[in-house]
């Protein structure tokens, strides 16, 4: 199987989305908020795990709420992209595989449910 490739990627400032057209013709539209909340870097993953274990976690004094302004997108090799957020966070490398995995369109969501219901990205989704 060949590596995933992007035919087109556009930032829609108005809608605050990132649109990716894949080489197989599939179109993914990611709200920036979704991309930030699915940031694949180690510290965001840890915060998500903690949030799962304790939904009432208090945000520490040094933690600012995440910022959903997209400052810049930097290609990483031929396999992914690094997103620079408005608050300076840029640790997450979104590989094309990962992006395709979190595609929020209905077809992808339905396919994921069929695959691994009731878990989506390790999160239990009640039926
Ligand atoms: Zn992160
Ligand atoms: Zn999709």
Task: Give per-residue pLDDT as tens, 19-35.
Answer: 999 999 999 999 999 99
pTM: 0.78
**pLDDT for the residue numbered 74:** 93
56 C-alpha vs ligand 2 centroid, how far in Å? 32
Looking at residues 81-96, what average pLDDT do you find? Answer: 95
89-94: long-range contacts (C-beta < 8 A, 24 or more apart)?
89/39, 89/41, 91/39, 91/41, 91/42, 91/43, 91/44, 92/39, 92/40, 92/41, 92/44, 93/40, 93/41, 94/35, 94/40
Whether 65 shows a pLDDT value over 80: the answer reads no
Q: Tell me the CA–centroid distance for residue 42 and ligand 1, in Å.
A: 7
pLDDT of residue 1: 47
What is the 72 CA–ligand 1 centroid distance (Å)?
15
Q: How many domains in the chain? A: 1
Q: Which CATH number fits the domain that encloses residue 10?
A: 3.30.2020.30
Classify residue 61: in a domain, yes or no: yes
For 70, the domain range is 6-120
């Amino acid at each position: 199987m060949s590596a995933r490739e992007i035919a087109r990627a556009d930032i829609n400032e108005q809608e605050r989305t990132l649109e990716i057209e894949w080489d197989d013709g599939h179109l993914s539209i990611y709200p920036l908020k979704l991309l930030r909340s699915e940031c694949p870097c180690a510290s965001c993953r840890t915060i998500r795990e903690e949030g799962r274990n304790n939904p009432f976690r208090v945000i520490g004094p040094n933690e600012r709420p995440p910022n959903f302004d997209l400052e810049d997108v930097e290609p990483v090799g031929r396999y992914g992209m690094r997103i620079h957020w408005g608050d300076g966070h840029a640790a997450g490398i979104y590989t094309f595989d990962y992006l395709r995995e979190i595609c929020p369109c209905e077809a992808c969501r339905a396919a994921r449910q069929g695959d691994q219901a009731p878990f989506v990205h390790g999160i239990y989704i009640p039926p």
